[in-house]
Structure 1
Amino acid sequence: MYGMLLESVHYFVQKEYGEDVWLEVLKVSQCKYTVFNTHQVYPDHIMADLARALESITTESYIDIMNFFGKCFVRYFSNYGYDKTIKDIGRTFTEFLESVDNIHSQFTLSYPKMKSPSMYLTEVDEKGCVLVYRSIRQGFTHYLMGQLHEIANHLFNLELQTEVLDSQFSDVNGKKIVIVTFRLNFDNEQYMKMKTEKAAHLETTPLSPFSCDLLLRLFPFGILFNPTMAITGCGEKIIEVAGKGGKEKLLLKPITKYFRLRRPKGISFTWKNTFYLKSVMFEVELLRGELMKTNLLECPEEKKSTEEATIEIEGKSISPYSLRRESQPGLKNILLKGQMQYLKDINAIIFLCSPVINDINELPDLGLYLNDLNQHGLSKEMVLAGWHHNSKLELMFDKAEQRATELENSHALLDTWKRRGDDLLYSMIPKSVADRLRSGSSPLSTCETFDNVTIMFCELVGFNSSTVEDAMELVSTMNAVFSCFDYLMDKFDVYKVETVGQIYMAVSGAPEKSETHASNICDVSLNMVEHVDQLQIPSGTKVGVRIGIHSGPAVAGVVGIKLPRYCFFGDTVNTASRMQSTSTPGMVHISATTKSLLPDGKYRFDERGSVKLKGKGDMETYWLFENIL
């Protein structure tokens, strides 16, 4: 659907419910568009998604919301002056309903990719009418009802009541079509009075009958067919286009064999549809390919091979199998546009039409000449003046759509790079701290004191990097080991602070406070020891880790402008570093402070005794093991 429909929803939801509700609707519906462009085409499901989101936020039902959306569109398009177009269609609401398809047809110039529904009336009386609605879109029944109510009320000053009589699905040309029959109740006396007066006028001015041949001479592209959809008469130009023996070729043959219905869209080419849509503009395509096949099959020279059979057009013999549509002059399909009229006297329908020609240069491709067009009307003048020529306008719309697509792609690329930037930022600074900085807070405001955290230092041991080859092996091994550690950090709710050389630092309890920070660090430390023992190093080098842990207060904040880091400061950091430096490979060395914070029965401890730490003196420390009992 075009963006104008969604623009109307955007505008009136903001107006009726407020900006906050609209933002919440976008969030709940997971709509990636924050604004909608009038001439850009969007997926059909967005409208229903927005309605369901608004239903979940408000107390209104989905049906009422879709009805509201339909009314919003009518109110919104009045800003573009389209309400004047509707008022100028006819004097009554019924005349508007009879001409809806014609309105859609006219708007295809401004909205060339519009997939408009089809509507026609089957019954009309003084109390209203019966409307049949057909569309390839499903779920828009109540949206249409909202539009009809708003048009009847505000443009024709009528009170309208709608009732769904029937709803079903049909398959037309491989497409699933929804068909809904409505009963529209309103004051229709004015239309019925006009209809009665028109019929009385015709009765008081009787005219002498004339033959259908005269009618077909007046409309040289006209087609006459009966209720069985068999062709009973053709204009002289249609017969000429059919080639040699054209009259015998077309008469009493099914009209669907040589003609294809192009508009109204979404309906099949049947007697019922053409009868009820007699007030709608039709577009029917003459299939030159089918005519060529008929010429080939009726070739009198039976011995001639299929490859040698030819078709004579304008005195030229051309093989139909060497042709492609529009590849040869005079072989392009002809699009006929006009109105279906029912002839009661002979129980037939005549298609009064003219060929659609964009400009005079297209005539040779169609195999037509200017003198072939109707002598009455403005067909010739329109071709000469180029009134039908809209290629420049279509080109302008194509460019606008291309720019809209490029803008959409740019937004998608921007989102991708923003996400990558966020991932990079969050790898250096905790998400909660980074979001505060992006909201405008100063770096100093990120400094925070934590009463109790647990800090771990881990060092890789077992390397000898005396040569360049050894150094490269060290880097490769550290990458494999530290990547494994990074995975464990997320698993145990531990924040990786930094790596300096072969030292890996992590903390729990900051920046997100946790009551189990000591257990988290101890669990991840024991897993680190276990994973290093099992890790397959590409070079085959046997590495180990020695880990030190201490708990206590600390201060943390963002430091630096270039490559900013989230750093920790305080005596707890220094003590944890000393615990690591005095540890032994494959062991987890913890302080008495950390041991006091661990739950009973979960871990096993071996008392190491008093250990002298630089700058701290003697401290009671322990080896930590997992309790396997």
Structure 2
Amino acid sequence: MYGMLLESVQHYVRLQFGEPLWEAALAELGQHNFSTHLVYPDDSMTRLADACAKRVPGWSRDTFLFFFGRCFVRFFSHYGYDKLIRASGRHLRDFLAGIDNLHHQIRFSYPRMRSPSLQLLQEHRGGALLLYRSCRRGLHFYLVGQLVQVANTFYGMRLQVRVLSQRSTPEGAQALLRLSFDNAAFTLNEQRRQRAQEGITLPDVSWGSLLRLFPFGMLVDRCMRLLWLGHRLRMVFGQGGEAYPGRPVHELMRLHRPMVAFTWENLLANQQVVVELECIFPEQSTVPSRRLLLKGEMRYLHESDVILFLGVPL
């Protein structure tokens, strides 16, 4: 993880618990300080929480991780990231739906960043259900602290978070979080959407016109078989691209982000986030680097029961 995450803790630990505790915790980690753009071991945050918890009665690792998460949100305005959050939407639900997109924007400044993936599974008037996936273990309370502080600082809302489940996975860890907050914006949005659908009738667009717009697009069916590839993708895939109809999409594409299995259900659930795909090229491909990343969105077309990927090279 980048030092900025660890650096954000420093000021607030010193302020609340004093310099001696901070120096002792650093010494236990074998560090003198943290540098913003240096990369540290993935367990540094949990080790730092353990080191602090040993020295503060009544505080556990998870308590400190929650505190660290709140510290980060209070800290990152020094780097201008508060502007990204304010631009993500007027309501907390907008922020929750677009967290992965925010991570994508920040990654241009921190190219080695391995951010978690957050999927909004359900929404209702009283809150939402959020699925957290990370390549790091033990940090879900750090995320909870961030969410609570974001809700308070940027939306003036009281957010309650309950961890329904958490487990280790081969890729890292995942946790299911129930978020309780005043989600009146969800109800208003549903009402507007229904009124818009009732009052607007648009002409159909032909398949030919639609597909010509996306030379790096693709279509898949419910069995995750390719139905169509954009003409640019057919060119870079060579003969493999010409023989695409009916092939499993996993033979030509690998899902990079979000951090979910490459399944029909997950594509349907992630239509609001930026998707990254890596092309898997055959030996006869004309692409010298044998690596092409595509960035875009997945869109479900109800009339044809297919998913259309709208993407461009990254």
TM-score band by shorter chain is over 0.9
Aligned positions of 1:42-81 closer than 5 A:
42-59=40-57, 60-81=59-80
Contact 2:43 2:136 in 1 (8 A): no
| Cα distance between partner residues in 2 of 1:79 and 1:210 | 47
Superposition deviation, residue 245 in structure 1: 8.3
| Cα distance between partner residues in 2 of 1:345 and 1:261 | 25
Whether 1:287 aligns to 2:275 is no
| Cα distance between partner residues in 1 of 2:219 and 2:288 | 27
| SS of alignment partner, residue 57 of structure 1 | coil
Structure having the higher Rg: 1
CA RMSD of aligned residues (A): 1.9
Give me the TM-score of the superposition, normalised by structure 2: 0.93
Aligned partner letter, 1:42: Y
Superposition deviation, residue 89 in structure 1: 0.9
Residue deviations 1:443-493 (CA, integer Å, cap 9, x gap): xxxxxxxxxxxxxxxxxxxxxxxxxxxxxxxxxxxxxxxxxxxxxxxxxxx
| Cα distance between partner residues in 1 of 2:80 and 2:93 | 21
Whether 1:251 aligns to 2:250 is no
Residue deviations 1:211-262 (CA, integer Å, cap 9, x gap): 3332111112211111211112222332333445844x11111111011222
What corresponds to 1:177 in structure 2? 172
Summarize the Cα distance change of 1:355–1:45 in structure 2 as closer, same or farther, 3 Å threshold: closer
Contact 1:261 1:269 in 2 (8 A): yes
What corresponds to 2:208 in structure 1? 213
Superposition deviation, residue 57 in structure 1: 1.0
Aligned positions of 1:235-384 closer than 5 A:
235-243=230-238, 246-247=241-242, 249-264=243-258, 266-289=259-282, 292=284, 326=288, 332-356=290-314
Summarize the Cα distance change of 1:50–1:239 in structure 2 as closer, same or farther, 3 Å threshold: closer
What corresponds to 1:26 in structure 2? 26
| Cα distance between partner residues in 1 of 2:145 and 2:239 | 54
| SS of alignment partner, residue 142 of structure 2 | helix
| Cα distance between partner residues in 1 of 2:29 and 2:236 | 52
Contact 2:223 2:264 in 1 (8 A): yes
Residue deviations 1:41-94 (CA, integer Å, cap 9, x gap): 111222212211211111122221110011001101022221111011111111
Contact 1:5 1:73 in 2 (8 A): yes
Superposition deviation, residue 25 in structure 1: 2.4
| Cα distance between partner residues in 1 of 2:231 and 2:26 | 59
Q: Which has the higher relative contact order, 1 or 2, with Cα contacts under 8 A spaced 6 or more apart?
A: 2
What corresponds to 1:96 in structure 2? 95
Superposition deviation, residue 10 in structure 1: 1.1
What corresponds to 2:82 in structure 1? 83
Contact 1:225 1:231 in 2 (8 A): yes
Contact 1:163 1:182 in 2 (8 A): yes
Identity %: 39
What corresponds to 1:150 in structure 2? 149
Summarize the Cα distance change of 1:244–1:33 in structure 2 as closer, same or farther, 3 Å threshold: closer
Deviates more, 1:10-19 or 1:273-282: 273-282
Aligned partner letter, 2:101: N
| Cα distance between partner residues in 1 of 2:185 and 2:31 | 46
| Cα distance between partner residues in 2 of 1:282 and 1:245 | 23
| SS of alignment partner, residue 280 of structure 1 | coil
Aligned partner letter, 2:297: Q
Summarize the Cα distance change of 1:355–1:62 in structure 2 as closer, same or farther, 3 Å threshold: closer
Superposition deviation, residue 95 in structure 1: 1.1
Contact 1:92 1:191 in 2 (8 A): no
Contact 2:135 2:172 in 1 (8 A): yes
Whether 1:41 aligns to 2:3 is no
| Cα distance between partner residues in 1 of 2:233 and 2:9 | 48
Structure 2 gaps, min length 5: none
Superposition deviation, residue 268 in structure 1: 2.5
Summarize the Cα distance change of 1:233–1:87 in structure 2 as closer, same or farther, 3 Å threshold: same
Superposition deviation, residue 270 in structure 1: 1.6
Contact 1:98 1:121 in 2 (8 A): yes
| Cα distance between partner residues in 2 of 1:91 and 1:288 | 42
Superposition deviation, residue 40 in structure 1: 0.5
| Cα distance between partner residues in 2 of 1:50 and 1:245 | 50
Contact 2:2 2:113 in 1 (8 A): yes
Aligned partner letter, 2:282: G
Aligned partner letter, 2:47: D
What corresponds to 1:13 in structure 2? 13
Contact 2:137 2:168 in 1 (8 A): no
Contact 2:160 2:179 in 1 (8 A): yes
| Cα distance between partner residues in 2 of 1:349 and 1:186 | 32
Superposition deviation, residue 348 in structure 1: 1.6
| SS of alignment partner, residue 54 of structure 2 | helix
Residue deviations 1:167-209 (CA, integer Å, cap 9, x gap): 23333xxxx3312111111111123312331342133111122
Give me the TM-score of the superposition, normalised by structure 1: 0.48
